[in-house]
Structure 1
C-alpha cells in the first residue's frame, strides 16, 4: 500500500509532522538520508515523497546528506513518483545564489549581492559596496550561518583574516547590501501546497539566526538552547489579516520552480522598499506562536500530504 515518505536528516525536525500524520491516521515512513544505498536499477516504492532536506545539515555532521538526497530524488523523479519539493527545490535550498537568480527571474527584488571565493576576493567584493554597510553570509547556510554585519573594510579585514572567520561549506561567501529596517523585524511568509498559509513577524533585535523550530533559539553568543516561552518575549508572532501584493509573486515563483512547501523571508527598508533575501524549502513552524494564533503549519502540511496520498491511491485502482 502507498504511504507518505519523509526524506530528511534531522529527527528533531520531524517530530511535529509525524505527530500530525499519526493524528490523521496517515501511513508514513521516515527516510534519514545521512547515508545509505540506492540500487538505481530497482524501482522505488509507490507513495508520496516529501523532501525536507536542510541546507544546514553539515552543522549536524551530515555533510553529504543534501548530495545523497539529490541522488534519491533523481531516482524517484526518473520513475515518475509523486514528490513534494523535488530536485529543483533542493538546489534552491542549498544555494542562496540560485535562490536570488530565480527570485529575480520571477520579478522579486533581492538585496545587492556579490559572490566570492577566497579571502582576498571577499575583500575585493566588499569594495564594490562603495562605503555602505554590508553583511557577509554563506551561500549554503541555514540558521544564519556566516551572517555578520560590517560598517567598515577595517572590521571586515579583521574578521576575514582573524581566528573567528567562518569558512562556508561550499567555499562561497556572499557580500550583501545591508537593509536597515525602521524597526528590528523581518516577515516570514509560509506556503503549503504552493499557496500562502500565514505570515510571521520575527524579532531580529537579538541577531540574525531566525530558525523558528522548537530546537532553535539564539542566546547572547548565537548558540542553540531550548525554545523560550511566549511569555518571555514572543520572538515569533503570526500576523492576523496580513496581506502584501508580493504574495502573488511568491506563489508564481514557487510554481515556476516546482516548490510546494516553503518559507520566504523579506525585510522592508525605511523607504518602504521590500527586499526578499531567503527561501527555506525545509520550513519549520514556531509552535508557541501558532498556539496564540490558532493556526498550525504542520497540521496543514500533514493534511496536504494526506490529500496527495489519497490522489495517489485513487490512481492505483
Structure 2
C-alpha cells in the first residue's frame, strides 16, 4: 500500500523530530534517503502523492558525492509524474544559489549587502575594487557557515588568491560581499510556512563565525559552542518582506535571514534557506513545537491531493 507522504532526506539525524511528529499524528510516510537513491526517468510511478524535500545545502560537507544536483532532477521527475512536491526542484534551484537569492531579493525592492558575483578566484580582486574592506568571500553553495572567509584588506585578499586559499564553491561561483555590521551583534532568521510568518529568532553572532545554524543537530556538533537564540517579533514591514520573499521563491517551508545594518539601520536580507530544521529546544525558546504546524500543512496538502 502506497504511503500518503514521502520525505526525501539526507542528514541521518536532522529529521527525527519531524518523523516523530508524523508518527504521533498517524501519517503513513516513506523516508527516502537521498545518498543511495536512483531513479528510472521512464518510470511513471511516484513514491507518494505528496513529497517533502529536505535536501540540505551542507550535504557536500558530509559526502563528496553529494546529491544536491541529483535531487533537482529527481524532484522535477516526480512533479512531472503528478506528485505534489513541497519545496520542489524550482525551490531547490534557488536554495543552491546565493547569487540567485540576492537577485530575487533586490528584484522585490529589498536591500542586501553590496555584492559582486564571479566564477573565477582570479576575478575577485577586480570585482572588489570599488568596495570597502573588510569584505567577505562566499561560496555560492554553502551550508552551516561553510565557504565564508573575511578579508581585512586588498593585500590579504590578493595573498589568498595567489595561494589558492579563497573559498571554493561546488558550482565554481563565488560572491564578494561587504561586511555589514549587525546591530546588537545578532542576525534574525524568520521561518515561514506556506508563504506566511511562522516564527522568528535572533541568533547571536560574534562577527567572526558564520556557522549560525539554529537546529538541534547543529548545536550538538562536537566542539561547537552554545549559540544564544531568542524568540522575537520583527517589525511588520520586515515580516511582510520575508513573506513576499518566501512567496516569490515558491517556498513551502523555509527561512529568510537578515541583519539590521548598524551603520544606518537598514534591514539587509542575505540568505534564503529552504531547509528548515527549526530552532533547538522549541518548547523552551518558542513555547510550542513548529513541527506540529508543519505536519498540519502536510495533512492539508495530502487532503488537497486526495480531493483532486
CA 1:120/1:106 → structure 2, altered by over 3 Å: closer, same or farther? same
4+ residue stretches of structure 1 with deviation over 6 A? Answer: none
Q: Distance in 1 between matches of 2:169 and 2:249?
A: 25
- 2:8 matches 1:11: no
In 1: Cα distance, 2:152 partner to 2:285 partner: 38
User: Aligned ranges for residues 165-204 of structure 1 at < 5 Å?
Assistant: 165-204=166-205
Aligned mates of 1:63, 1:277 — CA distance in 2: 28
1:250 to partner: Cα distance: 2.4
Aligned to 1:221: none
Structure 2 residue 124 is matched with structure 1 residue 122: yes
Please identify, of 281-290 and 137-146, the stretch whose mean Cα deviation from structure 2 is larger: 281-290
Note if 1:260 corresponds to 2:252.
Answer: yes
1:63 partnered with 2:56: no
SS class of match (1:114): strand
TM-score by length of 1: 0.89
- Structure 1: stretches of 5+ with no match in the other structure: 219-223
Of 249-258 and 271-280, deviating more is 249-258
Tell me how far 1:167 sits from its aligned partner. 2.1
**Change in CA separation of 1:163 and 1:118 when aligned onto 2, cut-off 3 Å:** closer
1:237-256 correspondence runs (5 A): 237-239=230-232, 241-256=233-248
Give the secondary structure class of the aligned counterpart of 2:15: helix
Equivalent position of 1:295 in the other structure? 288
Which 10-residue stretch deviates more, 302-311 or 187-196? Answer: 302-311
Q: How many Å apart are 1:234 and its aligned residue? A: 5.4
Gaps of 5+ in 2: none
Question: How far apart, in 1, do the equivalents of 2:22 and 2:210 lie?
Answer: 32
With CA pairs under 8 Å and 6+ residues apart, which has the higher RCO, 1 or 2?
A: 1
Q: SS of 1:6's equivalent?
A: strand
Question: 1:146 Cα deviation (Å)?
Answer: 1.8
1:28-107 paired onto structure 2 within 5 Å: 28-43=29-44, 44-61=46-63, 63-107=65-109
SS in 1 for 2:217: coil
Using the alignment, how far apart are the partners of 1:210 and 1:162 within structure 2?
28
Moved more, 266-275 or 110-119: 110-119
- Superposed CA RMSD: 2.1
1:215–1:226 contact (8 Å) kept in structure 2: no
Q: How many residues align?
A: 304
Residues 137 and 167 in structure 2, CA contact (< 8 A), matched pair in contact too: no
- Residue of structure 2 in register with 1:282 after alignment: 275
Report the CA distance between 1:26 and its aligned residue.
Answer: 0.9
